[in-house]
Structure 1
Amino acid sequence: MRQNNRIIVLDQLKGLGILFMIIGHIEFAECINKYIYSFHMPLFFVVSGYVYKKSTLKFEKYIKRQAKLLLVPYLVCGIFFSIIFYLSGHSFNVEKVFRNFVFPNKYPFDWCGAIWFLMAIFIVKIIFEAINRIRIAGVRNFILIFLIASGWVIAYKRMKLPLCIDTALIALGLYLIGYLCRLGSCVITERLKRGNEVYFFLAICFGISMLCFANETVNMRENQYGNLGLFYLSGLAGIISWLLIFYIADRKKNIFLKKLVFLSDNSIVYMELNQFIIAIFNVLVLARFESLAIQTLLKLIEVIFTVGIIAVIAKTLGKNSKLKIIVGK
């Protein structure tokens, strides 16, 4: 499942996360959202931790590189939608604009709310890289445990910190789990090669993932996790469940999974634009119908429409070398 040093199943998993993000933002039903939100964003942090490798760059250059990949799209997207917001008739307020960047996802950032992830993963990567450069293992471990524990306390207190630091501290634990899973991946892979054991593991993990319904709805964007133990347990079980499903499907050469790689490759574009496209569709189409059956059908169409429209935009941006920076390329 490797291609050009990429682990394709992880790309497929990230693509699924993007698809679930769109479905979650369209809001089919509370139970569907509760299941999706329990693992679809944690998935990105776990996968990022899994593929982490200590950088050979000087720390300052590493920060600049990550800023170019993550913060430039964050700023460009935020500025773009702020301009649209105020051009649409809202009064201009410098203080509000500043607060929208420091405390992401507040009004008017609901149009591009998913970009909170770019700020959070930037903070996580910088923290993890900095800690990993400390030579004394005991000091590294102490700092990691302290920061992750601090994240738990902040989440318990329902505190909201600037620059997604509150979310980043929780995500740091997920990132670390992904990193540790990479160290044991060879053992896991060998176990899966033994045939039908994969179906047994899938059943166990899927059952554990259902614990999300015993918890309140998770929203990493708002630093809301309910019971943190259930959040980690059900979230990780949900991720592993879909990883095993992809492992089985890959052995059967499922064509659909190949399409998910495109969503993964263009994940930043989808995070930047999906809620804006959804908002337009809701106003122009969905709001015209009150029937639940018709709305459900239209929401299915909305998923396909959103994926398709952004795919066209992503391909267009990808062909323009000057615009690639907008999507972190």
Structure 2
Amino acid sequence: MRAEQRLDYVDAFRGLGIIAMVMGHIGFGEIFDHLIHAFHMPMFFFISGFFYRTGKYGTKEYVDRKVKSLLIPYVSFGFFHYLLLVTIVGFSINPVLHLLTVNTEGLPIAGALWFLTALFLTDIIYFLFDKWNVKWLIIPAVLIGSFADQILPYPLPWALSAACVGLGLYWMGQISKKYENKLTKIYNMNLVQILIVGIVTTGLIFVNGYVNMREGRYGFLPLFWINVLLSICLGISISKLICKTGKFKWLMGIGKNSIVYLCLNQVVIQVLHKAFSCVAMPKIVSNLLVLILSLAVLWFLSMLFTKTKLKIFIGK
């Protein structure tokens, strides 16, 4: 029962992050965009680190597992989107080149795929640092990743700079799991505490500059990390309260199948935006309808990719 409850709240937490991502891609305004980018991608690196287990796999087995779970979906959905793009606008080699090299730009209708290679690199680098007992290298790696896109003339391949920052978030996730019992209070805030910390965190997010891991933008770096920590504590506390209600199973379902939502949300959103562009209605109403229908379509697609032979494309 304890394991089920833990997985439920983590899936709910992941589900909240996916909904924030979808809303960001739909476009709910600059204020909302500024708010969610402070935490919604960092939290996924944290979650991955939360499930890391020291010494559970050998090097080859670990790399093989990550290739299957992250790179197979990356290649599968990357080329699916490319073929779709060629069908609509004609042939161009540029998206393929970006898919194979610098993928934080130049991927029309598939921009979110950069996260898969970033997480893959974070997973492998962290595993090697742990295996070689040199986790102290994480701190300089995080600093290099934080400034690489501002200092270097060209972006690093496969979102490597974001992967380096992700190492710090991944490490935080592992530490949080290791000391889970000692962190009970900060991960189990009540509604009043959530409200107070939420107001403070929101204020700090807007005090900080615009954050975007894909673009290598972190604002004032210490404040970025403070905001990430506070947002994660809030997100986990909210997720646990959601799980206690016994409802919102659909939210946990989103978390469990998050990779399908990540890989296909942008093409679904663009199709729905195109459909609603023919109907005169306030933008907020149109965006809410696109959000609801996007989640419904993505739920259907997640069932299709997890319950049929198509699961091979998501590394299952």
TM-score by length of 1: 0.88
Deviations 1:170-189 (A, max 9, x none): 11111111111222220122
Q: Distance in 2 between matches of 1:182 and 1:259?
A: 25
1:317–1:323 Cα contact (<8 Å) kept = yes
Q: Given the alignment, which residue of 266, 282, 289 partners 1:301?
A: 289
- Aligned partner of 2:98 in structure 1 is 99
Q: Distance in 1 between matches of 2:260 and 2:95?
A: 25
In structure 2, relative to structure 1, the CA distance for the partners of 1:206 and 1:157 (3 Å cut) is farther
Q: Given the alignment, which residue of 127, 130, 134 partners 1:129?
A: 127
- Aligned partner of 1:270 in structure 2 is 261
RMSD between superposed Cα atoms in Å: 2.3
Deviations 1:101-127 (A, max 9, x none): 3111433x2311111111111000001
2:39–2:228 Cα contact (<8 Å) kept = yes
- Aligned partner of 1:2 in structure 2 is 2
- Aligned partner of 1:146 in structure 2 is 140
- Structure 2: which 5+ runs fail to align? none
Q: Distance in 2 between matches of 1:45 and 1:238?
A: 13
Q: Distance in 1 between matches of 2:315 and 2:236?
A: 26
**Aligned 1:1-329 pairs, distance under 5 A:** 2-4=2-4, 6-93=6-93, 96-107=95-106, 109-135=107-133, 140-157=134-151, 160-189=155-184, 199-200=192-193, 203-204=196-197, 206-251=199-244, 253-256=245-248, 258-286=249-277, 288-289=279-280, 294-320=282-308, 322-329=309-316
Shift of 1:225: 1.7
In structure 2, relative to structure 1, the CA distance for the partners of 1:56 and 1:206 (3 Å cut) is same
Shift of 1:192: 6.7
| Paired residue type of 2:299 | A
| Paired residue type of 1:300 | L
2:176–2:183 Cα contact (<8 Å) kept = no
1:102–1:163 Cα contact (<8 Å) kept = yes
Deviations 1:165-219 (A, max 9, x none): 01100111111111112222201226777x86x7436523541342111122222
SS of aligned partner of 1:104:
coil
- Structure 1: which 5+ runs fail to align? none
Q: Distance in 1 between matches of 2:37 and 2:98?
A: 26
| Paired residue type of 1:30 | E
Q: Distance in 2 between matches of 1:35 and 1:119?
A: 24
Bigger mean CA deviation after superposition, 302-311 or 213-222: 213-222
In structure 2, relative to structure 1, the CA distance for the partners of 1:206 and 1:220 (3 Å cut) is same
TM-score by length of 2: 0.91
In structure 2, relative to structure 1, the CA distance for the partners of 1:230 and 1:192 (3 Å cut) is closer
Shift of 1:83: 1.1
1:278–1:302 Cα contact (<8 Å) kept = yes
SS of aligned partner of 1:268:
helix
SS of aligned partner of 1:57:
coil
Q: Distance in 1 between matches of 2:8 and 2:218?
A: 30
In structure 2, relative to structure 1, the CA distance for the partners of 1:245 and 1:4 (3 Å cut) is closer
| Paired residue type of 1:117 | F
Q: Distance in 2 between matches of 1:208 and 1:241?
A: 9
Q: Distance in 2 between matches of 1:122 and 1:168?
A: 8
Shift of 1:247: 2.8
SS of aligned partner of 1:123:
helix
2:117–2:159 Cα contact (<8 Å) kept = yes
In structure 2, relative to structure 1, the CA distance for the partners of 1:247 and 1:58 (3 Å cut) is closer
Shift of 1:260: 1.2
SS of aligned partner of 1:110:
coil
In structure 2, relative to structure 1, the CA distance for the partners of 1:17 and 1:190 (3 Å cut) is closer
Q: Distance in 1 between matches of 2:14 and 2:98?
A: 30
1:167–1:220 Cα contact (<8 Å) kept = yes
